[in-house]
Structure 1
Amino acid sequence: MHLIQPALHSRRAFLRRSGQLALSGTALPFALNLAAIGEAAAFNATDYKALVCVFLYGGNDYANTVVTYDDPSYNLYSTIRGGGAGQTAGGIALAKSALTPTLLNPTTALPGARQYALHPSMTGLASLFNLGHAAVQLNVGPLVVPLTRTQYNSADRSTWPLPPKLFSHNDQQSIWQSSSPEGSTIGWGGNLGDLALGGNSNSLFTCISVTGNAVFLSGDSALQYQVSTGGAVAINSVKSNVYGSAAVKAAMATLVQQSRTNLLENEYNRVTTRAVTAESQVTSALASYPAANAPFSTFPASNPLADQLKMVARLIAARSALGATRQVFMVSIGGFDLHDNLISQHPTLLGRVSDAMTAFYNATAALGVADKVTAFTASDFGRTLASNGDGADHGWGSHHLMVGGAVKGAAFYGTPPPVSVGNTAAPEDQWHVGQGRLLPSTSVDQYAAALARWFGVADSELAGILPNLGHFGAAAGRPDYPSDLGFMR
């Protein structure tokens, strides 16, 4: 009854059908023209907006990222994670005194006097939060329908379906990015790109990855364009002399781009031609925004995520030359699968995330587009609150950050989860499914919908992008799971 639904919005369904009809050689141009008309209507504003997904591969530990700080909750956290007496560090618990510099001060206090701090290495993002440029979404994760712990434990999966293949890295990465497990070919970032294509004069630069191939940016019609931290990826035999010979280079350029009578050969050369043209366009556009110049020169060195976000900032600066008014980007950082060495390795990773995202926000502010660019974190899953001795194991819900001038910052969204690992009927044990694996109180679909609405997606289009969204919100009889989380202006 509640199984994940196929794509519902008419444009995506129409494009799929017309793509199949295009094998006859007649339907595709007509379909794309109609789609462009619709997309132009949906995204007819002339302003610029960009979404930037910062994916933390491996499953980030929520409890040491957004750390409970008020005394009652902190003492529970410290006890569960092996902290020492007097709120000192121990096991995988952080000392409370180390959290004071990164204490988050929301404009509206949380119920029950709950407080949170960021990890001590995240001073930059803590400052952005307190300045009103960042916010935290509490306990978000994949859900098909709202669930209680009893419903999670139910054998009735037709009424209370679970996201498929919970706690699996590859599958949960894919579900976060596409609502489907590994093998999915369409992501919700790409679906946003599908809708935005008609507003960009060059549709190829709608969805851009600086982190390799990712299903998040693959749409029904939007293509995922990949760049490196150094810029567009060139085809060497077309870009440079071959064996020192310009003649060989010219011959190679002709061979890989000329029209062919064979259908597959011609398509291969058409794609190659597109790649060559795009590389030239991107290289030319970025030349006006050298990495050595401010505001790009302020990104921290020896930080792979900062290198990726620096490239995103340069591409945003070059948006006019690239013909883009709506863009979706993806960057990532790995290493978060910390079953071991959580205390020794997590600080470096979170420091890189904080430093990179802070520098990126500052760059967008310097470019005058801070309110036009929203960055947000995502990850495979959270981890257990319980320690396994030197780390934490695979979990489910997690806390995530949204950064940008359009974010209603200095605020927490969602419900603070109780700090518990018990297995009783007590209220505090109902928001985890064992060992402190958070049972999400906010779904990824709700999280994505808030970002999509800001991006320009109409409510009528959301169901086709986020197939489970219809199970949440007042219209579904669940006002406790709002369809609009409210964290975007």
Structure 2
Amino acid sequence: MNNDIQHHHSRRTFLHRMGQLSLAGVSTPMALNLAAMGEAAASTANDYKALVCVFLYGGNDYANTVMTYDDASHAQYARIRAAGAGSAAGNMVISKEALQPTLLRPHQALPNGRAYALHPSMGGLAQLFNDGKAAVQLNVGPLVVPLTRAQYNSGNTQRFPLPPKLFSHNDQQSVWQSLSPEGSTVGWGGRLGDQVMSNNTDSLFTCISITGNSVFLSGNQALQYQCSASGAIPVKALQPQDWMMPNANMREAFQALIQQPSPHVLQNAYTSVMKRALVAESKVSNAIARVQLRTGFTNNNLSNQLKMVARLIGARQSLANKRQVFMVSIGGFDLHDNLVSKQPDLLREVDTALTSFFKATEELGVSDQVTTFTASDFGRTLTSNGDGSDHGWGSHHFVMGGGLKGAQFYGEAPPVSASDSNSAEDQWHVGQGRLLPRTSTDQFAATLARWFGVPEQDLGWILPNLKNFGVQAGRPDYPSDLGYF
């Protein structure tokens, strides 16, 4: 880890953040995570912008999501997928005929006649892509430096460092979200929050998670405020239906008790936290109550999370926010088995949720001001192991928003290959069709951060590996701005 980043994990930072929490105020125990009050950040803004991370936990199978469609590549995909599938071969391969309705029609054709379609469950996103409201980033994943297959195979990690603990779920989730392995306490979404907190009159709501605690939204000053898909998380014991406090007098007494000043330093800090927590809960609940959406959302977990994000964005003026970072998630993508039976429903949930969310941003008049992107632990192997696939590395991801240069593929289309020969096609993977990323998470995040309003000079602090990419690093083939906007 970079020494500058390590500095922020020091005892001094811990004490500083504890002091901030005493001022911030949160409800217990689940919502003890509101954004701390911090110093003014470097960015200033007069408009509103929001970034929304949709994390697909488990490692989504890229080959059956953004699917190669041209004749030659699809035939190669079908041969490789079927080879290890045995009796399930016919199911592991999705036919070209099934992909015709979700064929992606980019504004600019890919080289060599390459073409892609989305999984048949993703008709909504395919339409958004073709309408210019979504794009696909090809073969993106964590990298420390630009890397070739030969460098990866050399074992010389001092000269050619690798992301820590490749192919490990927990670590790669953390690397995607924080650029550090499991145990990291600060994510790049949280560091974005650190930079833009000064734009928000109430910086408490800069970083909001609708999916529980995650390192992505944790900053050095900005900590994540957690909501549920139903709204602000209350102090449970103060709710009329809670069995611990069955009558109003008990609840009133308890509320007075948890806000009572004390000469004890820690108890008094906790009291301050509780006071602000109750204020925050009331503020959020009142603000979102005034936001009623006409857009229909399917009643599933991810849709409900994104509906709450839409309502919070609709309440941005009441919450006094100009810059916000959100996170939602869906799990279940670790499909070593049952890929054929389970991935379609998971992708359908992603599709309906993202499509409805985009429509809601249009209804709210902010579709140009909200950018949504997907992320996942890693991609998976192109080869199958029967009726599933194994842990991989690079993957294809979606970027969505009205301000995007949509209907485009960003990055390079990888050849469809899984052999271990020395051919040019096989330089794109590290075995079994595990894609070697040609776009790094740092490049991906930097492009979003610039749109968000982060000054150029602050990008290196937010994204410590960015210095190894782009023209300044002598690698114009790995640009630090991918050109989404």
TM over 0.5: yes
- The counterpart of 1:327, out of the listed 324, 329, 335, is 324
The TM-score with structure 2 as length reference comes to: 0.92
SS in 2 for 1:331: strand
The within-5 A match list for 1:262-281 is 262-281=264-283
Q: CA deviation at 1:300?
A: 1.2
The within-5 A match list for 1:259-338 is 259-290=261-292, 293-295=293-295, 298-301=296-299, 303-338=300-335
**Corresponding residue number in structure 2 for 1:344:** 341
- Verify: 1:251 aligned to 2:253, yes or no: yes
- The counterpart of 2:407, out of the listed 389, 410, 435, is 410
Residue identity matched to 1:441: R
Alpha-carbon distance change, 139 to 299 in structure 1, aligned in 2, over 3 angstroms: same
Q: CA deviation at 1:281?
A: 0.3
Residue identity matched to 2:111: P
Residue identity matched to 1:278: A
Q: CA deviation at 1:35?
A: 3.2
Q: CA deviation at 1:244?
A: 3.4
**Corresponding residue number in structure 2 for 1:128:** 128
Alpha-carbon distance change, 21 to 81 in structure 1, aligned in 2, over 3 angstroms: closer
SS in 2 for 1:77: helix
Q: CA deviation at 1:415?
A: 0.6
Alignment deviations for residues 428-482 of structure 1 (CA, whole Å, 9 cap, x no partner):
0001000000000000000000000000011110111111010001110111100
**Corresponding residue number in structure 2 for 1:71:** 71
**Corresponding residue number in structure 2 for 1:456:** 453
> Bigger shift: 245-254 or 305-314?
245-254
- The counterpart of 1:35, out of the listed 26, 39, 51, is 39
Alignment deviations for residues 242-295 of structure 1 (CA, whole Å, 9 cap, x no partner):
6432221121111111222212212222222221111100000011014xx413
Residue identity matched to 2:146: P
**Conserved 8 A contact 1:449-1:484:** yes
Distance 1:184 1:44 in 2: 28
SS in 2 for 1:462: helix
Alpha-carbon distance change, 243 to 461 in structure 1, aligned in 2, over 3 angstroms: closer
Distance 1:178 1:199 in 2: 23
**Corresponding residue number in structure 1 for 2:178:** 178
Query: What residue ranges of structure 2 are gaps of 5+ in the alignment?
Result: 24-35
Q: CA deviation at 1:361?
A: 0.3
Alpha-carbon distance change, 20 to 225 in structure 1, aligned in 2, over 3 angstroms: closer
**Corresponding residue number in structure 2 for 1:482:** 479
**Conserved 8 A contact 2:44-2:196:** no
Q: CA deviation at 1:18?
A: 6.9
Alpha-carbon distance change, 124 to 25 in structure 1, aligned in 2, over 3 angstroms: closer
- Verify: 1:106 aligned to 2:106, yes or no: yes
Distance 1:22 1:83 in 2: 56
SS in 2 for 1:328: strand
**Corresponding residue number in structure 1 for 2:26:** none
Q: CA deviation at 1:33?
A: 9.7
Distance 2:166 2:19 in 1: 42
Give the RMSD, CA atoms, in angstroms: 2.4
Q: CA deviation at 1:19?
A: 4.5
**Conserved 8 A contact 1:305-1:353:** yes
**Conserved 8 A contact 2:141-2:378:** yes
The within-5 A match list for 1:113-152 is 113-152=113-152
SS in 1 for 2:458: helix
The TM-score with structure 1 as length reference comes to: 0.91
Alpha-carbon distance change, 34 to 102 in structure 1, aligned in 2, over 3 angstroms: closer
**Conserved 8 A contact 1:237-1:253:** no
**Corresponding residue number in structure 2 for 1:370:** 367
What is the aligned residue count? Answer: 467
Query: What residue ranges of structure 1 are gaps of 5+ in the alignment?
Result: none
Q: CA deviation at 1:92?
A: 1.2
Using the aligned pairs only, state the percent identity.
60
**Corresponding residue number in structure 1 for 2:439:** 442
